[in-house]
Amino acid sequence: MAIIGLSTFRQHLSDYLRRVQRGEEILVTEQGMPIALLRPIGSLDQPASLEARLAKMAAEGRVSLPTRRRLKRVRPVKIAGPPISRTILEDRR
């Protein structure tokens, strides 16, 4: 599911409508709050995605959506020396 702001949606309306025709759901937000969910007509009988259900509950005031951006992926840290598991086992003796 694509989540887009209202101004972006207005600027690229025809592109987003084509995506909906191909079967994608689009959630339109205004200042971070969901205001519309575009779904293909053929999917009306199917249950909505998790994002769509959360957007509906947020519009009803039943939940609050996160206001922060997702965290970036963390790079693994390489540590020189013996494995930590060996150090723990030695420490227990």
6-45 burial code (b ≥16 CB/10 A, e <16): eeebeeeeeebeebbeeeebbbbbeeeebeebbbeeeeee
Q: Answer whether 29's CB lies under 8 Å from 5's CB.
A: yes
User: Residue 42: helix, strand or coil by DSSP?
Assistant: helix
Write down all domains in the chain, each with its CATH number in brackets: 2-59 (3.40.1620.10)
Q: What is the pLDDT along the chain (93 residues), one digit of tens a residue?
A: 888 999 999 999 999 999 998 888 899 999 888 888 888 876 666 656 787 788 778 878 888 877 777 777 888 888 788 888 888 888 888
The pTM (predicted TM-score) of the whole model is: 0.51
Q: How far is CA 63 from CA 49, 50, 78, in A?
A: 16, 13, 40
